[in-house]
Structure 1
Amino acid sequence: MKTPVTVLGLGAMGTALARTFLAAGHPTTVWNRTPGRSPELDTLGADRAATAAEAIAASPLVVVCLLVDDTVRSTLDGLDLAGKTVVNLTNSTPDQARATAERVTAAGAQYLDGGIMAVPAMIGGPAAFIFYSGVEEAFEKHSGDLSVLAKPAYVGADAGLAALYDIALLSGMYGMFGGAQHALALISTEQVPATSFTEQFLVPWLTAMLTSLPSMARELDNGPADTAGSNLAMQAAAYDNLVTTAQAQGVDPRLLAPMGELLREAVAAGHGDRDLSGLVDLLKTPAG
């Protein structure tokens, strides 16, 4: 028999997790603060618990997917977690994950924190992956169970690391989308069709630029290399054109302005001969 699992929280993501465990043959107990949520799980064979305590008692593996960290705390605190493996897939910060790990460990359970890199429709599919951090023994024991949800990636014993990886990737995503949104705003001021511009030019351009990321990472790990392309001084000198054009086209430059400020700061600090990797260290330097 496959490992029985409990899923706490039946929002869109929690429901997708429970559905995927059921499809993979895991006896699955579900609980939600609002009774009766996701009734389709009942027809798929889920056991619905009346309380969180009853749900936790039903399975050795407890997967938590609630709205926010405060809800995780109010749900788990005071319950009998002894001998359980608690996997918290609620979006959180690294410090919140570490605090939850302390409470869960004190209650006698092993703790894994997770960062889901997927939307609900991707759960159980080949493109989804989930970061895990915390007790390595617990990950090794349940990696096969967790792999039905998405490709599992264990990133370390520090319970906060999965959240840090998650937030880092989301930060990169939002930065990329912000630049793309600004580009589309510019183009739309002259009635250029957004679809053709995006498919013919924006996506290929961004894809090509992404190939520079590994070399940037190598410089961070191994130290600066000779700058083969445009250094920061050259980029800072030309960057004003981006802001000036946006303003002239009636587009708010709020998404562009911080990068320009950072470029000028880097040049003023004597890093004008570096490439864009030089900005990373500047971001880590405390102000003042």
Structure 2
Amino acid sequence: MISPRRATWLLRALGGLCVLAFWLAGPTQSSFAQGRLDAQYEATLAGIPVGKGAWTIDISDDAYSASAFGGTSGLLKAFASGSGTGAAQGRVVNGALVSTNYNASTTTSKKTEAIRMVLTNGTIKEFAIEPEPPVDPDRLPVTDAHRRGVLDPMTGSMLRVPGTSDPLGPDACHTGNAIFDGRMRYDLKLDFKRMETVKAEKGYQGPVVVCAIYFSPVAGYIPDRPVIKYLAAARNMEIAFAPVAGTRILVPFRMVIPTPLGVAMLEATQFITTATPPRVAKTN
């Protein structure tokens, strides 16, 4: 039986799970292609459905957009309902995704919160949380330095692999980066674990590269929070990445985080990717 207190802990843990899903490797100067992803995911705890979501990504030759939404379902919804949305837009410059805007909102039975950020070349120029949260003396402060050289979590929804060989391989996991989500600054690091073959109920079936993922909080968090301590200490979290057709971008197909309540998993039930033909310049 899931108690209300444990359900609240699980919501926070699943929130961390989704944040970890939205992260990005460092810039590359390789050529860039165009494509689209339409995916749907289901979250489970110990095999029991607790949430659903969807994720859409559009990439053109000079711009991109990404959006996602999700919410609790099944047994968990009866104890602690919640939903959230996120979106980002930016430019494609020399093959790199350069974020310009990020917005996210979460709604629970107790409150609704919205986060907005404006970025320029990896630096947070503007950000706001509405309603503005009260100052918590236990929260480690975020400095201006912490908001430079970072990625927003939605632009971080894509793992870009340089080069011309098959992007699905061990090298895809040899990376890490800095993320700022509007409140917290943290680092993520990947390590290669194995190759697998997956099959969605609708769409993609084929190989994925499975990476171990490690979470290191830097600033903007409360050190005594159980979910922060748990995620920072975890050494058994993993993500399986699948390719977006027509690009050298990989995105999470499945995520696994063992928790005190059982294994939490976020897995694609639909994963439809299509390559988009490049635009042809008009001639007279």
TM-score, shorter chain, exceeding 0.5: no
Which TM-score band (shorter chain)? under 0.3
Q: Which has the higher strand share?
A: 2
Normalized against structure 1, the TM-score is what?
0.26
Normalized against structure 2, the TM-score is what?
0.27
Q: Answer with 1 or 2: which has the greater Rg.
A: 1
Q: Which has the higher helix share?
A: 1
